[in-house]
Amino acid sequence: MKTITHWIGGKPVEGTSGRFGPVYDPATGAQDKQVAFATTDEVDGAVAAAKAAFESWGAASLAKRTAVLFKYRELLDARRDEIAALITAEHGKVHSDALGEVARGMEIVELACSIPQLLKGELSTQVSTRVDVASIRQPLGVVAGITPFNFPAMVPMWMFPVAIACGNTFVLKPSEKDPSASYRLAELASEAGLPDGVLNVVQGDKVAVDRLLEHPDIAAVSFVGSTPIAKYIQMKGIEHGKRVQALGGAKNHMLVLPDADLDFAADQAINAAYGSAGERCMAVSVVVAVGDTGDELVGKIAERAKGLKIGPGTDPASEMGPLITREHRDKVASYVSGAAAQGAEVVVDGTGYSVAGHEDGFFLGVSLLDKVPVTADAYQDEIFGPVLCVVRADTYDDAMKLINGSRWGNGTAIFTRDGGAARRFQLEVQAGMVGVNVPIPVPVGYHSFGGWKDSLFGDHHIYGNDGIAFYTQGKVITTRWPDPADSGGINLGFPSHS
């Protein structure tokens, strides 16, 4: 059985803990790999390699950093199909979706290639007699990232390209469920000329996570995952004096007004709810139907849902693949099985679904629940699977009260032809990312990704300008070069700008 190991100091490092995690092919249910779990000593070794590399990388010219990043982008482009295949094999998402993940991650590599422009400082001359003030940004040192299973390539690329472009060195702890993509990203970075130790990958579980959060040489930690773990990351990281950028879970609402194109809205609800088997923090999990749109809209969604092709991600005909593990599949199914008892109407029931020839795979059909009470578990919890809830609202104001009453505030969308209503919605809704007739409003690389409320813990969103700010620290430099004609002299008064 293949063992996926660590990447430390520019080379593979075998694990010594004797502890391993299973890596499954979700389409077959078979374990064909295992991943070595790091000891605290191995985590310390990765941090030490990063700390040693920072001495030269932090002082490297912007020209050198960007040369490596441009080469890295070329290699990623050439290997995108290979990386996508690794994602499909371990996560289960269909190959086209995996290719899209790689492409969106590469957007942030492209952003990092523009670091000379992004790190330009500010200068004010003659703030006082022959005194100038400059503001610059400098790297923090060694930083770490802890990433989830649902985007094993994209989310790491949301972090480390920006961090290393700013001059930091990086230790990545990917999900133990699908670790191969991150390992391959590190190999390709080395091939692109990234110096040894600048990017390190330690595989593992909570032992590795806690050591990263406690290690005195790590200045900052980025995290994407569930809300309970994001809270834990923030508290433990702050306890140990680190900057923390922790993105949590979501319950994203899609508001459909009576004037919306219902066929278009139904198409987009299907795409946003069931793509990647619903294992997206930006998936639409609740449609809020306003007025008398509900029955017609639910009918259109149900018609489309029943026609989806579910199968292994390697099959070009598949539109949706399996879930990541058997346990997660069963947990998602339980929300559908218990929905009717809690007052919801089960319009489409995807439980008990199987694929011929892949009966042991972690497959689940899509489910559609209508008239879901806000007290139901299916509404209250982040399901993270192919289950779409429909909630009815009499008016726009009722819908807004519902959406803003959610404890999450990651993403949201409105579907309407009314520009005034859309403008009002984007200003009033309490969420960090808003789509107008766009169901999954994930920002492009030069804007930042992140939510509000229980979807974000920390002061910075990820990538974009917020990413630059998170991975750097500001410094203000005040200088005076006296004119040779100045006589100088002693003045004990507080300096004034005159």
The catalytic site residues sit at 281
The gap between the terminal CA atoms of the chain, to the nearest Å, is 74
Alpha-carbon distances of 459 from 222, 243, 279, 469, rounded to whole Å: 12, 9, 25, 10
Of 230, 305, 271, residue with least CA distance to 413? 271
Q: Would you state the structure tokens that stand for residue 403, as one six-digit string?
A: 């959406």
What amino acid occupies position 398?
D
Give the Cα separation of 142 and 195 in Å (integer). 14
Q: Backbone phi, then psi, for 256, in 5-degree steps? A: -115, 115
Q: What angle do CA 10, 138, 50 make, to 5 degrees?
A: 20
Q: Would you state the structure tokens that stand for residue 318, as one six-digit string?
A: 């598949």
Could you tell me if 171 and 105 are in contact, meaning their C-beta atoms sit under 8 angstroms apart? no
Other CB atoms closer than 10 Å to residue 498's CB: what's the count?
5
Of 244, 280, 277, 260, residue with least CA distance to 462? 244
DSSP codes of every residue in 179-222: -HHHHHHHHHHHHTTPPTTSEEE---SHHHHHHHHH-TTEEEEE
> What is the side-by-side strand order in the sheet with 345-348?
345-348, 367-370, 387-393, 284-290, 252-256, 411-415, 433-436
Q: What angle do CA 53, 58, 64 make, to 5 degrees?
A: 95
Strands 6-8 and 11-13: antiparallel
DSSP strands (E only) in 277-353? 284-290, 345-348
Place of tokens 């569930």: 226
Beta carbons within 8 Å of 202's beta carbon, 6+ residues apart: 6, 8, 38, 42, 43, 46, 171, 172, 173, 208, 212
